[in-house]
Amino acid sequence: MTSRRDLLIGVTCVVGAGVAYELVPRRRVTLQGADTIAQIVPRTLQGWTSRDVTDLVAPNIEGGLASRLYGETVGRVYQNTSSGDEVMMLLAHGDTQSDDLQLHRPEVCYPAFGFAISENHPIELALMSKIALPARSLVATAPDRREFIVYWSRLGEYFPLTPKQQQIDRLRTAMSGVVADGLLARFSVVGLEAAAAARALMLGFIPELVLATAANKRAALVGSVRALAMRGS
């Protein structure tokens, strides 16, 4: 009886060790390449100029979650040279993602800064004809500020829309033996009373920015599949 029990325990341990080995990431993959995100994303594009900013809503306390998760953050405000309209951009890139260090989603970090999330729903962000990106649209409100937000998160080649999808996608990359990089891309507009106008401004600006990015660098923003499709369109 004892020997049979020991055998079962031994088999279970061997199987467990095999599963654990399969789940250990063994190959690091990044879509960023040798350039930084700041170098990849153009500072100017037709009709738009930009300035660097550091006061966007983003938890970045030294030693905190954001500083441990992200190797690089880029904050800019793009201004339309004709209308004066402004779109804020925050890009945060991390070389690795784990259970403890997941992409810091706006619906989590904005409430930590005193905002209430009044809207939060998935959208298909059109980049070109028949090429769209899974993203989310939010409205964050504070006593003295109303911010309309469009963002997406990239985990390797995956674009999770929810925390649950994010966990599943991270597991998929781990099971394939990959340590994947991650990107949080957030765009927002402040002060416009009409939500439709704010969203139209962002949904027009974002594709322009992606298209203004060098074709061989777009994968860092939108993944390899969409980047390749955009080159062929």
Q: What is the pLDDT along the chain (233 residues), one digit of tens a residue?
A: 444 433 322 332 223 333 443 545 467 767 888 899 999 999 999 999 999 998 776 544 334 444 445 578 899 999 999 999 999 999 988 876 544 345 568 888 888 888 999 999 999 999 999 999 999 999 999 988 899 999 999 988 889 988 788 778 777 777 777 777 889 999 999 986 677 889 899 999 999 999 999 999 999 999 999 999 999 76
Overall size of the chain counted in residues: 233
Identify which of 94, 125, 91, 119 has the alpha carbon closest to the alpha carbon of residue 107. Answer: 119
- The whole-angstrom separation of Cα 229 and Cα 8 is 51
Q: Edge-to-edge strand order for the sheet containing 116-128?
A: 48-52, 72-80, 86-94, 182-190, 145-155, 131-142, 116-128
pLDDT on residue 57: 60
Q: Which residue has the tokens 């793009």?
A: 78
